A = this chain, B = another copy of it.
């Protein structure tokens, strides 16, 4: 049975402040928990109900596993219908971004993205298209928010999410800076080369005005119908796909 302080600590991890304080975050669901357990992440503790026990055979032996009641799992879960398995994982310290990391690759750079579902979907999609890291502005939603973890469908176990001052990053970038915008060169045939930063803006306001002068080439997804804009995760996916297709 879980103690009250245990329950309090784990539920506190639903809030960024306490995630930072403890250096921990929560992963839920068998599939996602397995992916973190089999990744470079340090998984502190896995809690599971008796129903889920038989599915946990492949968990590495050095991870502390504890069977809890359905009621206890419900107490520590952020889901309405918990999925039987919950892990407490250490927030990794990614190595700082270097020029070498940026060269020869494309990186998505997210400017104050707010919706956790969007960030999770971008992480999942970026991994599908071979990206190993994503760069977020300091004002972006936290990648260890439970909704981001959920929407990333396990991809957060492998994709590094870096938070940095993106204005400074872009100013010093050793690679071209492209902006995903409503007006610009059409994405198809834009000739983006072999490396660069793809800057994507906030859901409501787009790219910050202060960053616009730093963009070397605005790029747009050609529009056919009257819709005013695209969702940012959709834009990110279309850029990732085109970078692969046009290679």
Contact = CB atoms under 8 A, between A and B. Distances in A.
A178 to B, nearest CB: 17
A200 to B, nearest CB: 14
Interface in A107-159: 117, 121, 124-132, 151, 153-155, 158
Interface of A: 117, 121, 124-132, 151, 153-155, 158, 188, 221-231, 233-234, 237-238, 241, 244-245
Nearest to A154: B228
A225 B129 contact: yes
Nearest to A127: B227
B153 A226 contact: no
Contacts of A241: 221, 238, 241
A224 B238 contact: no
B124 A230 contact: yes
A223 to B, nearest CB: 6
B117 A227 contact: no
B226 A127 contact: yes
A231 B124 contact: yes
- With most chain B CB atoms within 10 A of its CB, the pick from A129, A154, A234 is A234
A131 B185 CA distance: 23
Nearest to A130: B224
Nearest to A189: B245
10 contacts: A124-B227, A127-B225, A128-B221, A130-B225, A153-B227, A158-B225, A158-B226, A222-B244, A233-B234, A234-B234
A125 B230 contact: yes
Nearest to A125: B234
Contacts of A237: 230, 234, 237-238
A222 B226 CA distance: 29
Contacts of A124: 227, 230-231
A121 B155 contact: no
Contacts of A245: 188, 222
Contacts of A233: 121, 231, 233-234
